[in-house]
């Protein structure tokens, strides 16, 4: 049973906090999305079917928000983490050892619209849309950055590309860059994503390649950022995405935009500026918790895909436990069976014909005594 609640316990829509609560038979999963500071989501799993979110709003909106957000009862929490979308970089590939970077878009300095008018309790979707608080170059005069959130009540597969396979233990986030004017020719964009984990949890980046691209044509790679317990190597949570983005609101194969992921790195030197993270984990995020970051870059050849359509959409799943794994589709299994089975069948038939011909030829002769 999944429910969404906007700004629980707060009547103003000047800030955004969205609580997604998924209740199971003996546990509850909490997703707490917020654009107070940098856009972020808290992921908290509890072993109680009645655990609830508590927010001290006056403290949350103060300069010292530590302790303003917690789960009641605290003893029911078995795993907690956070994903923060910190910055958007724009650069120009000069084919030199170093690219030309323009001033960074710090998402904690953005002004975000109220999600109250985009919140759909039936479809379990909401959208955070924002623009820089100051835009001297006018790049955002007709554009915005958005994070579209989708929750799931059951497993299945998304219809639109990249057709991600999801479970009831996961949610989807779409990063959308729409109408933003590039500041140079052949501009490319990079999204910085930071994660917050407990010290005994290690983050690892996995890449899985498959010959089956039926659901996402021409894309053969799936990437997963998984949180593993160092005690028993169990997977506690994940962020998963296909190695592609799209340049259309109704994406097709030809709208694909190349997506590259850089190596995972420690980010204690640049803590995510997010009130919701500090409100839950406290001020000592860099010392008592591990902060990692990864850059995800988008851009086709010479960046022409975004230049032409001024639209970019990248989708990712996040959730608890093992990330969903695609198996070979029935179509691919049928093709492989025909491709591999036909030569084997021909070999068997040929062998039988040769043996039968040899037996018939030598049966006319009497054996020598």
pLDDT in tens, 189-221: 999 999 999 989 999 999 999 888 889 999 999
Give me the pLDDT at residue 271, please.
Answer: 66
Q: State the residue for tokens 């917020």.
A: 34
Alpha helices of 173-299 — where are they, by DSSP H? Answer: 275-281, 285-288
Query: Is position 4 within any domain?
Result: no
- What does residue 26 show for φ and ψ, rounded to 5 degrees? -140, 20
- Same domain for 195 and 121, yes or no, is yes
Identify which of 68, 12, 36, 86 has the alpha carbon closest to the alpha carbon of residue 275.
36
Query: Is position 24 within any domain?
Result: no
Give me the pLDDT at residue 329, please.
Answer: 54
Identify which of 123, 128, 169, 121 has the alpha carbon closest to the alpha carbon of residue 148.
128
Query: Is position 351 within any domain?
Result: yes
For the residues of 231-244, what is the DSSP string, one character each? TT--EEEEEEEESE
- Does the structure show a pLDDT above 80 at 303? no
- Same domain for 216 and 188, yes or no, is yes
Give me the pLDDT at residue 355, please.
Answer: 77
In a 13 Å sphere around the CA of 119, the CA atoms on its Cβ side amount to: 18
Where is average pLDDT lowest: 30-39, 171-180, 191-200, 357-366?
A: 357-366
Q: State the residue for tokens 């998984």.
A: 226
Work out how many domains the chain is built from and give that number.
Answer: 2
Give me the pLDDT at residue 309, please.
Answer: 87
Confidence of residue 153 (pLDDT cuts 50, 70, 90): very high
- Same domain for 278 and 349, yes or no, is no
- Bridge partners (DSSP) of residue 221 are 209
pLDDT in tens, 62-88: 999 999 999 999 999 999 999 999 999
- Does the structure show a pLDDT above 70 at 269? no
- Same domain for 337 and 314, yes or no, is no
Count, residues in the chain: 369
- What's the CA gap between 226 and 79, in Å, rounded? 13
- Does the structure show a pLDDT above 60 at 179? yes
Query: Is position 42 within any domain?
Result: no
Beta pairing class for 201-209 and 311-320 = unpaired
pLDDT in tens, 129-149: 999 999 999 999 999 999 999
Query: Is position 45 within any domain?
Result: no
Instruction: State the Cα torsion 220-150-58-48 to the nearest 10°.
Output: -90
Give me the pLDDT at residue 44, please.
Answer: 98
- Does the structure show a pLDDT above 70 at 248? yes
DSSP-assigned letter for residue 109 = G
Query: Is position 94 within any domain?
Result: yes
Contact in structure between 42 and 69 (CB atoms under 8 Å): yes
- Same domain for 232 and 348, yes or no, is no
Query: Is position 44 within any domain?
Result: no
Q: What does pLDDT average to over the chain?
A: 89
Radius of gyration over every alpha carbon of the chain, rounded to an integer in angstroms: 26
Domain span at 222: 80-320
- Same domain for 118 and 241, yes or no, is yes
């Amino acid at each position: 049973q999944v429910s969404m609640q906007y700004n629980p316990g707060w009547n103003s829509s000047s800030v955004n906090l969205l609580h997604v609560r998924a209740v199971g038979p003996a546990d509850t999963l909490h997703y707490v999305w917020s654009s107070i500071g940098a856009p972020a989501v808290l992921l908290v799993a509890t072993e109680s079917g009645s655990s609830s979110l508590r927010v001290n709003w006056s403290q949350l909106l103060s300069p010292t928000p530590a302790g303003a957000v917690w789960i009641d009862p605290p003893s029911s929490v078995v795993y907690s983490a956070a994903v923060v979308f910190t910055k958007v970089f724009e650069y120009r590939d000069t084919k030199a050892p170093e690219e030309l970077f323009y001033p960074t878009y710090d998402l904690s300095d953005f002004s975000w619209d109220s999600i109250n008018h985009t919140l759909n309790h039936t479809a379990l979707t909401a959208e955070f849309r924002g623009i820089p608080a100051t835009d001297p170059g006018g790049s955002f005069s007709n554009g915005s950055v958005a994070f579209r959130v989708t929750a799931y009540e059951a497993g299945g597969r998304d219809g639109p590309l990249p057709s991600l396979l999801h479970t009831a233990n996961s949610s989807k986030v779409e990063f959308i860059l729409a109408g933003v004017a590039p500041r140079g020719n052949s501009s490319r964009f990079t999204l910085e994503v930071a994660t917050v984990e407990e010290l005994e949890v290690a983050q690892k980046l996995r890449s899985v390649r498959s010959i089956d691209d039926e659901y996402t044509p021409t894309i053969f790679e799936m990437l997963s950022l998984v949180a593993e317990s160092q005690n028993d190597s169990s997977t506690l949570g994940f962020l998963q995405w296909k190695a592609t983005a799209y340049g259309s609101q109704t994406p097709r194969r030809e709208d694909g935009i190349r997506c590259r992921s850089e190596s995972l790195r420690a980010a204690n030197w640049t803590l995510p500026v997010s009130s919701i993270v500090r409100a839950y984990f406290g001020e000592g995020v860099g010392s008592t918790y591990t902060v990692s970051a990864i850059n995800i870059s988008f851009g086709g050849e010479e960046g022409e895909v975004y230049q032409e359509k001024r639209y970019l959409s990248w989708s990712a799943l996040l959730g608890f436990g093992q990330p969903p794994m695609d198996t070979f589709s029935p179509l691919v299994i049928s093709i492989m069976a025909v491709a591999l089975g036909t030569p084997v069948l021909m070999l068997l038939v040929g062998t039988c014909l040769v043996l039968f011909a040899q037996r018939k030829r030598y049966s006319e002769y009497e054996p020598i005594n």
